[in-house]
Amino acid sequence: MSTIRGTSSSWREWTILYEDLKFPDGSLLGKGRFGEVHRAYWHQDVAIKLLNMDHVNDDRQLETFKQEVSTFRHTRHENLVLFVGCCLIPPRLGIVMNLCKGQTLYTHIHWRRDRFDMNKIINIAIQLCQGMSYLHGKKIVHKDFRTKNIFVEANNKPVITDFSIFSVKRLCQTSPHDFDIKGLYVPERWLCYLSPELSRMLKTWTSFQQVEELPFNEASDVYSFGTVWYELLTYEFPYKKLFTDAIIWQCCKGIKPGLTNLTVAKEIKDVLVQCWTYKPGERPNFHQLLKTFEKLPRKRLERSPSQPVHLSRSAESIF
């Protein structure tokens, strides 16, 4: 039997031996620069995310992994994926969590093109704000809040995943399907979630060796939520037809798609304007957003048409 050396008592209760996990045929659920996600069984159906730690020296991988996942141990909320435990014997360093049922919000919006009525959209937004408000109340920043990290389970319950484990150095590794920023490679549409104050830092990097971890905070999470809200309303990403350099330039300048073609109530547009405010200190927090959504007059809210929202230089485009 494997033993775990050098593991403090605070970690022992959360430690799961990799060989104790049972993997069905075809267990691989997803694979990317962040690692692999497999379906498994450990007293219940679980998912294990085996993190890619190649961006860290071998002698520091275990401690770095512990730092990345330590916040998971202290979270319990119905709109956050449930942390079950972790595998702590290199090279298999993985987070074991409850298996999310359903598909990602990204899949619903951009692949299946599911149409949610406004009441469902607001209910999803309320629950997302509840989950994110809980995280921020525990001083946990998500860092990678986007529709690919939100699952929609039964009764349209959103479940937020992958909070607090984001790493820019892990992200900026070469992939043939990604977009080049001065020799750095980032996933398609990732920049749409990045706030102006963080986007400006990208312009200072000229090589992978200069990459540093970005100073994500609560305000940058709120900005990312604004993009998720935009996707829910339009079924599109902002900057849909722009190249990477143009996205960075417009984001740094605070230029956003115009909202004139978005036929919803003013209160709905106001959420976008507030979340995308150029100055981070002027953005609302998730508790304030939650109160805003709860007060929305549902009966007179209109659904956005399927027509695209075009880029504009009007006054409302610059927040």
Q: Which residues sit in the known binding site for ATP?
A: 49
Phi, psi of 214, deg, nearest 5 = -75, 145
Phi, psi of 245, deg, nearest 5 = -60, -40
CA 204 → CA 200, 201, 207, distances in Å?
7, 6, 9
- Largest separation between any pair of C-alpha atoms in the chain: 66
Q: Does residue 63 contact residue 88 with C-beta atoms inside 8 Å? A: no
Of the candidates 144, 162, 178, 221, the residue annotated as catalytic is 144
Q: State yes or no: is 144 an active-site residue.
A: yes
Q: Does residue 171 contact residue 33 with C-beta atoms inside 8 Å? A: yes
3-class secondary-structure state, position 151: strand
Separation CA 211–CA 147 (nearest Å):
25
b/e map 178-198, b = 16+ CB within 10 Å: bbebeebbbbebbbbbbbbbb
Q: Does residue 230 contact residue 268 with C-beta atoms inside 8 Å? A: no
3-class secondary-structure state, position 301: coil
The residue among 160, 79, 147 whose CA lies nearest residue 108 is 147
b/e map 22-41, b = 16+ CB within 10 Å: eeeeebeeeeebbbbbbbbe
Q: Residues marked as binding?
A: 49
Which amino acids are annotated catalytic?
A: 144
